[in-house]
Amino acid sequence: MNAPSDLQATLDPSRKSWVESANDSSNDFSIQNLPFGVFSDALNATRRVGVAIGESIVDLAVLESAGLLTLPTSGAGDSVFVRDALNDFIALGRDAWRGVRIQLSKLLSRDNATLREDAELRSRALIRQADAQLHLPVQIPGYTDFYSSKEHATNVGSMFRDPKNALLPNWSEMPIGYNGRASSVVVSGTPVRRPNGQLKLPDQERPVFGACRKLDIELETGFVIGAGNALGEPVACADAEAHIFGMVLLNDWSARDIQQWEYVPLGPFNAKTFATTISPWIVTLDALEPFRVAQPAQEPQPLAYLRHDGEHAFDITLEVKLRPQQANQASTISRTNFKHMYWTMAQQVAHHTVSGCNTRVGDLMGSGTISGPTEDSFGSLLELTWNGKKPLELQEGGTRSFIEDGDELTLAGWCQGEGYRVGFGACVGEILPALK
């Protein structure tokens, strides 16, 4: 077991690293962060587990074999760090995650000489991010997407249903969610091809087949299940956060025209299944602890199975940038915050499992589009341009109603501490033209 004081020390804002780039208060990967990912590099094509620190990655397998990193259950056989996904490490449980966090925080501290002064080991254990390739961090057995921003649900309801009754009655009673497609979740940097599909044009009786004309983003976060639950055994809301390993940024690419034609009555399908992009680093809930804030007041009071005491939102600044193919400069098209979300991650887990549905290590749960209260804080172009009626002026590259071929979309997110940042790194995708 890890001492609570050791875990608390990993959050000390005054702790600095001998990896100097980590001490820059605008670098996502401070020593307080220590997010987990999977990487390879030109010298070693084997995919393995790493932790981001400043502009570098720590190779956990190297530290483990050097005896500097021990796991509570060091099984026989291969290291859980020499894997193409984090699942086996995550499955060791929260004590293991915390133990690694505590040990890494010490090893990377400015006042710790062990690794700092061992040039040979350091050269093997630290890889520059610029030299590494980042891969999908987890093998995802199931992907669920929620719809938990009141502002987003209200905006969409206003546009497509009834502005006077924009929010459906069930929305305020439960974190509405639906099953997504896990196979097409890709890591940041993977190009995304514009989908073809059925489009129902207003002036034609029958749909036509063609490339999506209303391609959109959805600015979301996702969380990764760290401890599953057995079929038939719901997770109580008060226990739910212990089932969460950490968070990522998530872009739920959406083909609005395909969606509008297909989604009644069984929900979005082809409009979403062509790609979902996540950021490569999983930021643990432990690292996010200092940024815990109160969720919005919930009225009506949720049913008992959705109640929890205390604060369950997190203060995470989020932004979206769009860079046209020929432009040097990206335009920030949205800036918002995760703390606006009405339903919490804990409530999402409790609702997901209340029927007895099981979850598994590595399951990904999307927040739903995160829209803030102001027009410049909406999390989709659908809302930002009000379904194309109010095109956005970019700083360079013209205007946008929806995404054009060659556009590069980047989500960013971070918590700003005193002199340090706990950030997610970028979640990027460039749009390729549709297949002919």
The encoded tokens of residue 341 equal 């979300």
d(CA 397, CA 326): 7
For a copy of itself, which is the closer residue by CB, 4 or 169? Answer: 169
Our finding on whether 274 is near a copy of itself (CB under 8 A) is yes
To a copy of itself, the closest distance from the beta carbon of 175 in angstroms equals 10
Contact residues for 268 (Cβ-Cβ < 8 A; gap 6+): 178, 254, 259, 262
Burial class (CB in 10 A: 0-12, 13-18, 19+), 418: exposed
To a copy of itself, the closest distance from the beta carbon of 372 in angstroms equals 21
Residues that bind a copy of itself (rule: CB under 8 A) add up to a total of 63
**Phi, psi of 129, deg, nearest 5:** -60, -35
Other CB atoms within a 10 A radius of the CB of residue 424 amount to 30
* CA 250 distance to own-chain centroid: 4
Judged by CB under 8 A, the stretch of 99-107, 272-280, 312-320, 414-422 that binds a copy of itself is: 272-280
Q: Are 413 and 317 in contact (CB under 8 A)?
A: yes
* CA 389 distance to own-chain centroid: 29
Q: Are 157 and 349 in contact (CB under 8 A)?
A: no
Contacting residue, 15, 150, 351, 400, with a copy of itself by CB under 8 A: 351
The 183-202 contact track toward a copy of itself, x by CB under 8 A, reads: xx-x------x-xxxx-x--
The 233-252 contact track toward a copy of itself, x by CB under 8 A, reads: -x------------------
Our finding on whether 77 is near a copy of itself (CB under 8 A) is no
First to last CA, the chain: 58
**Phi, psi of 113, deg, nearest 5:** -90, -15
For a copy of itself, which is the closer residue by CB, 133 or 190? Answer: 190
Judged by CB under 8 A, the stretch of 44-52, 62-70, 84-92, 230-238 that binds a copy of itself is: 230-238
Contacting residue, 255, 364, 365, 415, with a copy of itself by CB under 8 A: 255
d(CA 366, CA 354): 18
The 279-318 contact track toward a copy of itself, x by CB under 8 A, reads: ---------------------x--xxx-------------
Site for a copy of itself in 167-186 (CB under 8 A): 168, 170, 173-174, 176-184, 186
**Quick check: is 308 catalytic?**
no
Our finding on whether 267 is near a copy of itself (CB under 8 A) is yes
Judged by CB under 8 A, the stretch of 73-81, 226-234, 374-382, 393-401 that binds a copy of itself is: 226-234
Site for a copy of itself in 141-160 (CB under 8 A): 141-142, 144, 147
Which of 152, 243, 312, 352 does the annotation list as catalytic? 152
Judged by CB under 8 A, the stretch of 265-273, 288-296, 309-317, 422-430 that binds a copy of itself is: 265-273
The number of CA neighbours under 13 Å toward the Cβ of 431 is 29
For residue 28, the one-letter residue type is: D
d(CA 180, CA 240): 21
Q: How far is CA 420 from CA 21, 22, 232, 415, in A?
A: 11, 8, 43, 9
To a copy of itself, the closest distance from the beta carbon of 269 in angstroms equals 5
The encoded tokens of residue 388 equal 């194309």
For residue 405, the one-letter residue type is: D
Position of tokens 């929900």? Answer: 267
To a copy of itself, the closest distance from the beta carbon of 396 in angstroms equals 29
Q: What is the CA radius of gyration of the chain?
A: 22
To a copy of itself, the closest distance from the beta carbon of 208 in angstroms equals 8
For a copy of itself, which is the closer residue by CB, 145 or 286? Answer: 145
The 36-75 contact track toward a copy of itself, x by CB under 8 A, reads: ----------------------------------------
Burial class (CB in 10 A: 0-12, 13-18, 19+), 165: exposed
* DSSP character at residue 269: S
By the criterion CB under 8 A, which residues form the site for a copy of itself?
A: 141-142, 144, 147, 161, 168, 170, 173-174, 176-184, 186, 193, 195-198, 200, 206-209, 231-232, 234, 255, 258, 261-271, 273-275, 300, 303-305, 351-352, 354-360, 363, 435
Catalytic positions are 152
